[in-house]
Amino acid sequence: MTSLESAQQLHARFPNLVSKPSEFRGELTVAISDAEQIHEVCGFAKATLDFDYLVDISSVDNYGDDPRWTVVYELASLTHGCHLRLKTSVSEEKSELPTVTTVWKTADWHEREIYDMMGIRFRGHSDLRRILMWDGYPYFPLRKDFPLAGKPTELPDVAFTNPAPLEGGPFVTAAGGKDSIAREPRVRTTEV
């Protein structure tokens, strides 16, 4: 079975929920119109279409647009040697969708990372807590409204003592610098 055949079967099984496949650079993507049904779609993809390997789950912040987030599931079939991408949208008001950890156990860490970095919650996840930032960190650092320079913190002895995490860190770029050297991320000691 090819990726295209798998995508077509997924669309045939869920005609009002799953879009027809779209291709870009040789990769197929289908969109799931209702994020609440992602578990059912993923379950069918694994059980019936043999997508036995969850490669990754990632999220995109569409800051300023509604719905705000796109959650992307990268699936692979080791049996058929093909790949399929599922996308669904999550609004800022809801910022939650069902977990797929009961479909693929590897979703556990992917969902925790998305929660930690973006603040999207996965309902039914057995251990949804921070995985990269420390417990109690009040922000979600991969959101587009999180400043590149970071935010100051009042948490002594957690990760750093003097500088605040990410504040003035090595990945702060100078927007609109005179050339690419001036825009290059680095710790700044003088104005560019």
Classify 154 as helix, strand or coil.
Answer: coil
Q: What is the mean pLDDT of the chain?
A: 86
Contacts of 161 by beta carbon, 8 Å cutoff, 6+ apart: none
Q: Give the separation between CA 1 and CA 6, rounded to whole angstroms.
A: 7
CB atoms within 10 A of CB 118: 23
Classify 118 as helix, strand or coil.
Answer: helix
Contacts of 44 by beta carbon, 8 Å cutoff, 6+ apart: 10, 13, 14
Residue 180 has pLDDT above 90, yes or no: no
What are the percentages of helix, strand and coil residues in the chain, rounded to 5? Answer: 20, 20, 55
> pLDDT per residue over 29-86, tens digit each?
999 999 999 999 999 999 999 999 999 999 999 999 999 999 999 999 999 999 999 9
User: Which contiguous run of DSSP H or E holds residue 76?
Assistant: strand 69-77
Domains and CATH numbers, the chain: 3-138 (3.30.460.80), 147-192 (no CATH)
Which residue's structure tokens are 């069918």? Answer: 44
> pLDDT per residue over 10-20, tens digit each?
999 999 999 99
